[in-house]
Structure 1
């Protein structure tokens, strides 16, 4: 990131994690012609991609969202994560080009209906699917999880030389017992390891949040505080 990169601050809006709070984001100029080259250094500064936007929470009254990343070389699955891998030993993982297919979209909608019913997300059409999960400039890859011909899940990940960013994982809600969210993160760590990529960025950790605190289980985890990355205590 340089002083030639324009940054914008969004208007205050309802926080996606705490409904009673107001949030604002710092956003890299979405019209910048070099977003693909900016992506890796933006990740290193704690930014995250959502659709075609690179953003960082910038809230005056709250600093709950903390960027976090896994140190790939040092990561070793704990007992629970090893059980998850064993439970899913029948799954074939393959690297696929991103994009819309009817099969992926149907799975995505089933997942959203189970996890976000009534919030509007579960009505995502083909355009919503494509717009949220990928961008024309993003180095996106879909990791597909299959048993035979059946698609069980997809881990959407962005691959840069400096770091891999775990964008979103969706899976068959009837397969909750498999812990495919955990499985997806481990597979992205393995992808980074195979490619010699040092970090897997998990977006934001929020201490104690029922949907965000799970990230602390992927050790060693680094968090970004006061402009630098430090080991999570």
Structure 2
């Protein structure tokens, strides 16, 4: 970790918690990380957006905790099995990231329907490319098609310990079929098929309604006090005096 150069942003409005200021730590754009470095950084709380590697580095708030599903002990609830059954006609394939009108138009419809209040709105081809397209070797698109039509895409990194979800967008009219949950269940099944122990879900934020859905997928670990711990075993994850913004050793 000490061999890399990182940059901190100025404080800005938080995208998830009202009345909170956020700050972000970025790996220098002059560093082109290998898949191994990308995964090692991911294991200590970093995420990828396009070709940018970052993690939250807020001064007064430390609610953003990296989380991952423990695949061998994953609990297949009846509701999850029903979602798989409802979507049994979906065809799934994994491809390298690409920019196409088909993908971009689906992404645009998704933002129009779900995220008009977000910082990614309004959509633009340039932002889509910067956010989701990367030629890094571990980057993948998981495509979901019904009768040949693209209905959802999950952008992932394929780590040696399991897939890491970056973003999912889908056809808004299919929301009753729970495509977001289907995407996570698909990654779990892929991890199981390859005997990989984890599915990484980005950040869990206790007080964010947008992020709290991740606790449905159990068992769930969070990266806290510079180690991965089961969330259910942590009484007060946000008040522990040992929490700090110090960067763990790689």
Gapped runs of 5+ residues in structure 2?
233-250
Look up the match of 1:216. 215
Q: Counterpart of 1:211 in 2: which secondary structure?
A: coil
Does residue 1:3 correspond to 2:2, yes or no? yes
Q: Normalising to structure 1: TM-score of the pair?
A: 0.93
- Unpaired runs of at least 5, structure 1: none
Residue 87 (structure 1) aligned with residue 81 (structure 2):
no
Aligned to 2:231: 232
In structure 2, distance between residues paired with 1:130 and 1:36: 20
Residue pair 1:202, 1:215 contacting (<8 A) in 2 also: yes
What is the alpha-carbon distance in structure 2 between the residues aligned to residue 103 and residue 16 of structure 1?
Answer: 28
> Separation in 2 of the partners of 1:82 and 1:207?
26
Task: Give secondary structure in 1 for the equivalent of 2:98.
Answer: coil
Q: Aligned-pair RMSD on alpha carbons? A: 1.6
Partners of 2:106 and 2:169 within 8 A in 1: yes
Deviations 1:52-111 (A, max 9, x none): 211111111111111100112222321221111111111111112211111111110000
Alignment of 1:102-121 (within 5 A): 102-117=101-116, 119=118, 121=120
* 3-state SS of 1:98 partner: coil
Q: 1:119: how far off?
A: 4.5
The two structures have a TM-score, normalised by structure 2, of 0.87
How many residue pairs match? The answer is 232
Structure 2 match to 1:184: 183
After superposition, give the CA deviation of every residue in 1:14-51 in whole Å (9 maximum; x if it has no partner).
11112421101122222113343310101110111112
Q: Is the 8 A contact 2:99 2:133 kept in 1?
A: no
1:155 correspondence with 2:120: no
| Contact persistence 1:72–1:192 (CA under 8 A) | yes
For 1:180-217, what per-residue CA distance to the aligned partner results, in whole angstroms no more than 9, with x for missing partners?
00000111112222223321111100114211000011
In structure 2, the CA distance between the partners of 1:37 and 1:65, relative to structure 1 (3 Å rule), is same
SS for the counterpart of 2:201 is: strand
Contact 2:17 2:207 in 1 (8 A): no
Is the Cα–Cα contact under 8 Å of residues 56 and 64 in structure 2 kept in the other structure? yes
Q: Is the 8 A contact 1:5 1:28 kept in 2?
A: yes
Regions of 4+ moved over 4 Å: none
Q: Does 1:29 align with 2:65?
A: no
Whether the 8 Å CA contact 2:97–2:134 is kept in 1: the answer is no
